Amino acid sequence: MAGEPQADCLFCKIVAGEVPATVVRETETTLAFRDINPQAPTHILVIPKVHHPDAASLAAAEPKIAADVLREAGEVAAEEKSESYRIVFNTGSGAGQTVFHAHAHVLGGRGLQWPPG
């Protein structure tokens, strides 16, 4: 069921503490931890604790939690002293999504090109 933990989901396992992660912030509804393969000096993932496959389906089902994710992305960037940063929600394998549990990439700490690849 949407929102329920999924046994085969890596990020549900991180929420459950079954897979370790370097957690930088936690709220009642969200978890923020460092990406294992950072693409910038600051590369942190902000996830809802509930399972939804992507950002849009999270926003449709639980708009308050989607807002929590965005607010936490800003908090993470502020803690990292990243004045300029990028929030990315890869959606679909063609866009590079590999973990189908909604997550925001917060990227900063270096110049970021626009448009992205």
Do 87 and 70 contact (CB within 8 A), yes or no? Answer: yes
Query: Locate tokens 């549990």: which residue?
Result: 101
Q: Chain-centre distance of CA 68, in angstroms?
A: 11
Q: Say whether 51 is catalytic.
A: no
Question: What's the closest the beta carbon of residue 10 comes to ligand 5GP, in angstroms?
Answer: 6
Residue 12 Cβ vs ligand 5GP, minimum distance, rounded to whole Å: 12
User: What's the CA gap between 90 and 20, in Å, rounded?
Assistant: 23
Per the CB < 8 A criterion, the answer to whether 89 and 99 are in contact is no
- With CB cut-offs between 5 and 8 Å by kind, which of Zn ion, ligand 5GP, none does residue 49 bind? none
Question: Which among ligand 5GP, Zn ion, none contacts residue 12 (Cβ within 5 to 8 A by kind)?
Answer: Zn ion
Active-site positions?
103
Which residues of the chain form contacts with ligand 5GP (CB under 6 A)? 10, 19, 21, 33-37, 45, 90, 96-99
